[in-house]
Amino acid sequence: MKVKIMLTILLAFLILGCTSQTDQTDHDKATTSTHTATQTVEQQKVVLKVFHAGSLTEPMKAFKEAFEKKYPNVEVQTEAAGSAATIRKVTELGRVADVIASADYPLIPKMMYPEYANWTIMFAKNQIVIAYTDSSKYADEINSQNWYQILRRPDVKFGFSNPNDDPCGYRSQMVIQLAELYYNDSTIYDDLVAKHSNLKFVEENGTYVLRMPKSEDINPDTSKLMIRSMEMELIHGIESGEIDYFFIYRSVAQQHGFKYVQLPPQIDLSSTKYADFYSKVKVVLSNGKEVVGKPIVYGITIPKNAEHRDYAEKFIQLIISEEGQKILDQLGQPPIVPARADRIENLPESLRGYVSET
């Protein structure tokens, strides 16, 4: 009897020990699994580099916030510059970006195909306006019909971005030259720009051509003109009172709370209806690239040497999705719905369902 009792007690201890050992093993496995998962997440930390046009600064802030909420392991680093300067960071300076977004979509094929990229998605539109504040001289007088007369006044100073660096810069020149044709006043560009810099349009076979000097040779009269590499840099100038007006995209003027003169659609580069009229002007940049007047369309691509193509595709998905379109619309930048692609056969499979082919 005593032997049976002793065997029973011994068996109970053995069962308890095995159970305890099993529980400890399961705990150890769970701890190891959690630690491994944590390590995996940490290993997946990604820095997504987005180089973009200055006029996309506010939309990119919103896209960054929305994207990082969806993908907490990703940090989106955005970097703004003029569109041409943005692309040159990759093509000339050898920098690596995961996404490139331009305020003038043809710059991507012109400057990046075929070596650095092989497709472009067109995703948003815009228009050129003249921004100002309540402190600007003659702010209570300026309108869409007399703006060039106001800018002519000797005590008025205005600005635009450098055409060699930034599409808003060469588009501003196009708008001023088109104004000569629209308002039937052949001295508007001369009075506003040519007399105060080394910039001048010349008629060549019915097309008005501006051949840009090198940036250091533009030589603006700083008592009349402020020229900066990127249109966003002019914001400080108007806020500080250094200039009274500047040419800018409507979306940027709206995002920063500026008043603005909305120009006639025949000259503001906003409408496909007037594409033929816009094409009467052309700017040849100092690097030899030619830009013909056309409606403003933004483009985006993924460079061939992008480090994080999977997340770059997801980031572009966000921009051209309904969520991204809503963000653009709220910030005064009309989205293209659906977005369009120029070489859909080269487009990543994950993006094809969001676009139509041009």
Instruction: Decide if 299 contacts 105 (C-beta within 8 A).
Output: yes
pLDDT for position 233: 87
Percentage of the chain beyond pLDDT 90 is 86
pLDDT of 40 > 50? The answer is: no
pLDDT for position 20: 47
pLDDT of 22 > 50? The answer is: no
Give CA–CA dist 150/280, Å, rounded: 25
Of 4-18, 212-226, 319-333, which range is least confident? 4-18
Instruction: Decide if 3 contacts 11 (C-beta within 8 A).
Output: no
Give CA–CA dist 223/154, Å, rounded: 9
Average pLDDT over residues 47-54: 97
Among 245, 66, 290, which Cα is nearest to 146's? 245
pLDDT for position 324: 98
Give CA–CA dist 274/295, Å, rounded: 8
pLDDT of 180 > 90? The answer is: yes
pLDDT for position 357: 87
Q: Count how many residues are written for the chain.
A: 358
pLDDT band at 43 (very low <50, low <70, confident <90, very high): low
Instruction: Decide if 194 contacts 200 (C-beta within 8 A).
Output: yes
Average pLDDT over residues 315-339: 97
pLDDT band at 232 (very low <50, low <70, confident <90, very high): confident
Give CA–CA dist 133/239, Å, rounded: 8
Instruction: Decide if 252 contacts 232 (C-beta within 8 A).
Output: yes
pLDDT for position 33: 47
Give CA–CA dist 136/188, Å, rounded: 21
Angle, in degrees to the nearest 10, between helices 309-320 and 57-70: 120
pLDDT for position 7: 44
pLDDT band at 41 (very low <50, low <70, confident <90, very high): very low
The letter for the amino acid at 123 is F
pLDDT for position 285: 96
Average pLDDT over residues 31-51: 64
**pLDDT mean across residues, the chain:** 90
Average pLDDT over residues 300-314: 98
